[in-house]
Amino acid sequence: MEPREKPHRVRMTPGARRVLEAAEGLFYERGIHAVGVDLIAAEAGVTKKTLYDRFGSKEQIVVEYLAGRDERWRELLGGHLDAVAGRPPADRILAVFEASRAWAARYGAKGCSMINAHAEISDPAHPAHPVITGQKQWMLGLFTRLAREAEADGAADAAGADRLARTLMLLHEGALVAHGLGVFPDPFGHALAQVRELLENRAAPGADAPLR
């Protein structure tokens, strides 16, 4: 997979921070297309001139909104992974789902901001599109690394680990969507149970990919 260019970011002055804080709440609660710059400026207590001076466009505000949430997610996830450092690889895989459960409870009442944004921004030319797809590619890369670590001592080849990573990714993203839609209670708890069962089955005698 070729590395993606990092999105252009703006320097956060006090005025820019007020704009971004207002935009974050509005975009997540109402949707990106439903929120205009007039409303963002009014909520932030700044003029439209200040908004455009700081960001240049609404599209750049969207970039900052999504990139900022991604940074906070990675920081929270890093704390969960640090807490299980040195433990078996299966524990680190489970920690990702535990982190998502904690994030969803605190910041994700309406589901995944990247998935929600992609429903509105499907044009690859939009400056925020690489932020959205890049975040999901990063998550798949994380699951791939963890799956390969989990199976490093086993007989499975890299292809088997990659299949496991894709399965973990599907469970993770499905839980995010189910949480946002309120389909059933505690989808992350259900996903965690499925992941535990999956990892235990792969570790069972005779399985092609024991975990140690």
The Cα 171–Cα 175 span in angstroms is 6
The Cα 80–Cα 69 span in angstroms is 17
The Cα 149–Cα 139 span in angstroms is 15
The Cα 163–Cα 74 span in angstroms is 23
Contacts of 60 (CB under 8 A, 6+ apart): 8, 10, 127
The whole-number pLDDT of residue 156 equals 55
Q: What is the mean pLDDT of the chain?
A: 91
Whole-number Cα distances in Å, 28 to 1, 32, 112: 30, 7, 9
205 band by pLDDT with thresholds 50, 70 and 90: low
Q: pLDDT for 124-134, tens place per residue?
A: 999 999 999 99
Residue for token digits 């990919």? 209
Q: Is the pTM higher than 0.75?
A: yes
The Cα 183–Cα 88 span in angstroms is 32
Q: pLDDT for 144-186, tens place per residue?
A: 999 999 876 554 567 889 999 999 999 999 999 999 999 999 9
The Cα 10–Cα 54 span in angstroms is 7
Cα 90 → chain centroid: 20
Nearest to 99 by CA among 115, 79, 113: 79
Contacts of 42 (CB under 8 A, 6+ apart): none
The whole-number pLDDT of residue 5 equals 61
The Cα 28–Cα 65 span in angstroms is 9
Collapsed DSSP state (helix, strand, coil) of residue 81: helix
- Ordered structural domains, the chain, with CATH: 10-56 (1.10.10.60), 59-203 (1.10.357.10)
